[in-house]
Structure 1
């Protein structure tokens, strides 16, 4: 049995990953939560307090995971300390870390889309934290860390979708950026892509993104109209412009059913 520990299993992506991994008999899936146990995995769900540095060490030595997936949120400095402990455990005991990162590692350069081999360049605290994690994890684990950078993540019941629907139902302004290009993914697709990466022992950096980019306003307009709202209050913000977007040189490593477009994200969300 292959033990997999999901750090941050109660979040949107973590929950989808647990649901997907549970389809495989060869995986024993454990997860952590901060406030609410993971419904799909309650008997193998453990409270994790990143304020207590010993908490993660006890958990690792008890569960003895072969693979660890990190979808954690929280204080950046404390997360970094925790991730270093995780990496050192895997270095000493063997295993792979699958670390979810973000488009924000490139948020200081919106002049172009960015690929896996581009040098990260961030001005935000969030982006700089993720860069620091990527660097330290790679220094400790070398080829035994897989970095998975995400675009804007949606789900049918995600906080982002719920916020949009709430604004639409209450006739609130929907702020969009007509000069900005970005791309998207869904919780369900991310989980399927991760399972494929684990099952095929793929390594390195992956941008888990569509095969295209889309104008920010166009994406929201198509999604909103697809949801049946014809008179939404769209408010343009022209302050942000450029390419807050990732593309991938590794899409061809996935089978056809795990390759997609922004339009297919919209179709999934409205159906």
Structure 2
């Protein structure tokens, strides 16, 4: 779905994290971008577009009224109760500022109580974990109060050459250490670079609704990491198989009713190719 276009001033909550910082680097050349950080003070305190904000300690209202964002991207971490209060304040700000939209970084965890089939955008959510239940509560809050100002961006496993999971895999390969794989778990995946492209597109086109920013196809967890490993070189980690049942279970979200253009979509094979590129030096701006 699309809403009217407008000049964008973007506030990324959680701009020091893996996803938030990648979005910052992607969007900075094109928009008036502001970010928050909580820890890693030395890395961000001298950057004028970063403001210190910790959900357990600070009020978001002062930041919102100072920056007056037209797009709020929430990639926050922290205490669930405090996070919920922050999002309630974001809703109140958005209700008073109809030009402001909210993009909430959610995940496949909102379906972790379902395991027999993959899940699509309009499927009912169901979670058995605290994290999944919390994300459902935020999704509900936003969709019920500011539906035409809300984008719910559900992510699968997010990989990439500098992603935590691939860095861990490389370490396990180097040290011949255990790397857990789940032979009966069917998943979707994506890369951080593709997520950044997709979010950029969603902002440019003022889209709202629920988006599954995941690969168009599925793969078994074990097969995905064995394939990535085979492309990284001849050495292997110690693959430790973890079984939760004898049958396949699904932790897979698929785009169906709210797809982005083909150029903004991704497949499992493309995820594998990107994850097996030459390792890069991690940098924080």
Q: Map Cα deviations across residues 177-213 of structure 1 (whole Å, 9 max, x no partner).
A: 1111001111111011011011111110000001101
Deviation of 1:31 (Å): 0.2
More relative contact order in 1 or in 2 (CA 8 Å, sep 6+)?
Answer: 2
Q: Which segment is superposed worse, 176-185 or 124-133?
A: 176-185
TM-score normalised by structure 2 residue count? 0.89
Q: Map Cα deviations across residues 28-74 of structure 1 (whole Å, 9 max, x no partner).
A: 000000112566x9211000021135x21111111111110011111
Structure 1: how far apart are the matches of 2:15 and 2:161?
18
Q: Number of residues paired by the alignment?
A: 267
1:267 aligned residue (256, 273, 278): 273
* Residue number in structure 2 paired with 1:103: 108
* Residue number in structure 2 paired with 1:12: 18
Which is helix-richer, 1 or 2? Answer: 1
* Residue number in structure 2 paired with 1:246: 253
Stretches of structure 2 that go unaligned for 5 or more consecutive residues are: 1-6, 278-285
CA contact (8 A) 1:87 1:140 kept: yes
Structure 2: how far apart are the matches of 1:50 and 1:112?
35
1:235 aligned residue (222, 240, 253): 240
SS at match of 1:157: coil
User: Is 2:180 aligned against 1:181?
Assistant: no
Q: Post-superposition, which runs of at least 4 consecutive aligned residues in structure 1 deviate over 4 A?
A: none
* Residue number in structure 1 paired with 2:66: 62
Deviation of 1:257 (Å): 2.2
CA contact (8 A) 2:183 2:222 kept: yes
* Residues 128-143 of structure 1: pairs in structure 2 closer than 5 A: 128-143=133-148
2:166 aligned residue (149, 161, 167): 161
SS at match of 1:253: coil
* Residue number in structure 1 paired with 2:37: 33
Q: Map Cα deviations across residues 211-251 of structure 1 (whole Å, 9 max, x no partner).
A: 10111110010011111144431121122541110001146
Structure 1: how far apart are the matches of 2:81 and 2:239?
37
CA contact (8 A) 2:216 2:265 kept: yes
* Residue number in structure 1 paired with 2:282: none
Stretches of structure 1 that go unaligned for 5 or more consecutive residues are: none
2:90 aligned residue (80, 86, 91): 86
